[in-house]
Structure 1
Amino acid sequence: MSELVSVIIPVYNKEKYVEACILGARAQTYANLEILLVDDGSQDASGEICDRLAKEDDRILVIHKENGGLSDARNAGIDKAKGEYLFFVDADDVIEPEAIQELYSAVKRTKADIAISNFLWQTPEGEVLGDSGIIKNDIWGKRQLFEALTGENSFYFVVAWNKLYHRSLWENFRFKKGKIHEDEFAVHHIFGRCEKAVLVEKCLYRYIRREDSITSTNTQIKRLDVLEAICDRFDYVHENGPEDCLQSAARQLWEHYRHFYFAENPDADGKRRQKEIKELFHGQYPKLMRIKPIKVKNLLKYTLFRYWGYMKRV
């Protein structure tokens, strides 16, 4: 008999999009679902839409709560979930009808802890802009997962929503509250608990790219949150990841420091944030210096930035 899968959809002021998202979850060819709609204190009609659709399908449970942010809403869904597997969907995105079936079949066939699929991104009007295209049908171990997280195409792996997780991966772990890029704070911890991952080449998730999304606004806050997440990832790899991933993790960390440092404007606020970035680097410096072998050019650039705040643009 198929096992229960919990589809967790956090909802906040998404009245234009949430119905299509919920209908996509309801239309899954995999029937043994519970659909958890977490209304995170919406101030528009999102909550009413959730309640109306819940009356039409007894697999839907609506959780109304005070606004706590996306991380808090996802965590509320995890806390209520009864399924053996968890799947996250953002309320303005859509999943393909076969998404859960494909991912569930893959994890059962391979006895994997997690299934990861390709995804495509499109405009709200339905125009397809592209797809990830990087994932090929395969089975990975922990080393390959960390290589993906610290490699050039890490974006395709750090998001929470193109994955089916065994619920044990989330035992005593939750998304970090109060951060815009909560996925990037979480996924490396989850990958660290995985012994086996199965990759599914099909595009099973439609990411809707909108100008007013959380990750398209609050640019300065976003930069610091991303950088903190990359630091957390580096720390985790440094302590728990395969040793041969440390070089790529260090390179990824430095590239983000350089990018965000020079992205700041030369005004008072920009200089203040540059100071915050330098202070954040102080905690990473000793770990970077312990990575062996260390190239002389890396030793110099880390030390110059740590003690004198000097960094080259290229």
Structure 2
Amino acid sequence: MKKVSIVVPVYNMEQFIESGVQCLREQTYPEIEILLIDDGSTDHSASLCDRMAESDPRIRVAHTKNQGPGPARNLGIELATGEYLHFFDVDDYLYPQAVALLVEAMETTNADLVVGGFEVDDQNKNKRAIPKADHLLLTGEQVRRNFYPHMFMFGEQGILQSACFKLFQTRTIRENNVQFPSLRRNEDEVFLVEFVNVVKSVYFIPNILYRYYANDHARLWKKVTYDYFDIIRVSSNRIIPLVLGWNPENVEVRNKLLGDFYYKTFQSIWFLFNPNVKRTHRQRYDRMKEITETFLSDLPCRDFGENPAVYRYMCKKQYGLLYLRMAYFTWKHRND
């Protein structure tokens, strides 16, 4: 029976650790190790991890300085002794049969990557189940040659954006030196695209394995840095050339890539209005202008199917209207 290493980055998550680790301990698949990577937590997360490791020999803990979830997961990959790897976020939930079903699929197909279904919980008791394709096996070349169906997290063949609810061949990651980038967000997408670049096969199963708890705006304000744009620019500039290289003539893929870059840029401007970050109107305005000019200079083309007011203001460099629009958007969604 092959071992599964479950890598769990932990940073200031003391209110979630016990419940998150407990669902891993309750997995019906017996041959697992749980790698808790304490990413320089400043609350009681580190001591909670150590305490849980004392009560369960399957749990191992590593403590490191705070570098973000990407380097924490890379350390987990380095420490893993399992033939398979699963990545778990400690504030989510993994169903008891999840690892067993993923391993069964991996053993049946010997795929490099198995993708399962998941559900989204917005914490207002609204749940949405996202099953994946029913036991669909694709070669890596098939996935890369038409990547469009795999770009949608909520699609039945979706691979992006999260590394969770999946099982990876450890040797494929190590032999190709695939790593998470040192980014505070969007590190999953870069890792997944670079992993897809080297896989020989991908297998989808319909089973709902994972419950993902979506962030509301208040929690996003606490988690996202003021300069989010610097992060998404790095991730987009790594993803876009690679995927376009697989699909040079595919307009749908190009439009989706550039549309995602726009949406994340929109978010980065919105995050400038974070009420938890004290900035003057002039500071927010100047940074908004700088983000817009950098975004437009990075775009290989401006016609990719987007035409909302914010994008028109950006293209026309109508910064006053753009600022007012984003301030209104922040006010309108302040209680979401």
Q: Which TM-score tier does this pair reach, normalised by the shorter chain?
A: 0.7 to 0.9
Q: Percent identity?
A: 25
What is residue 88 of structure 1 aligned with on the other side?
Answer: 87
Task: Report 1:1-314 matches (<5 A).
Answer: 2-123=1-122, 127-146=125-144, 149-151=147-149, 154-156=152-154, 157-158=159-160, 159-171=162-174, 172-211=177-216, 213=219, 217-218=223-224, 221-223=227-229, 225-239=231-245, 241-243=246-248, 246-259=250-263, 264=269, 267-281=285-299, 284=300
Q: Distance in 2 between matches of 1:86 and 1:21?
A: 17
Deviations 1:45-102 (A, max 9, x none): 1111111111111111011111111111111111111111100001111111111110
The residue type paired with residue 129 of structure 1 is K
Q: Structure 2 stretches of 5 or more lacking a match?
A: 271-283, 323-336
Q: Distance in 2 between matches of 1:179 and 1:146?
A: 27
Q: Structure 1 stretches of 5 or more lacking a match?
A: 289-296
The residue type paired with residue 256 of structure 2 is Q
Report the TM-score, using the length of structure 1 for normalisation: 0.81
How much has 1:258 moved relative to structure 2? 4.4
Q: Distance in 2 between matches of 1:235 and 1:94?
A: 34
Distance change (3 Å), C-alpha of 1:123 and 1:250:
closer
How much has 1:184 moved relative to structure 2? 1.3
How much has 1:219 moved relative to structure 2? 7.0
**Deviating more after overlay: 72-81 vs 224-233:** 224-233
Q: Distance in 1 between matches of 2:290 and 2:123?
A: 37
Q: Distance in 2 between matches of 1:226 and 1:150?
A: 20
Contact 1:149–1:188 under 8 Å retained in 2: no
Q: Distance in 2 between matches of 1:216 and 1:155?
A: 24
Q: Distance in 2 between matches of 1:257 and 1:175?
A: 19
Contact 1:34–1:59 under 8 Å retained in 2: yes
Report the TM-score, using the length of structure 2 for normalisation: 0.76
Q: Distance in 1 between matches of 2:4 and 2:152?
A: 26
Deviations 1:3-33 (A, max 9, x none): 1110000001111111111111111111111
Q: Distance in 2 between matches of 1:179 and 1:115?
A: 25
Q: Distance in 2 between matches of 1:170 and 1:236?
A: 17
Q: Distance in 2 between matches of 1:106 and 1:145?
A: 18
SS, match of residue 207 in structure 1: strand
Q: Distance in 2 between matches of 1:128 and 1:258?
A: 28
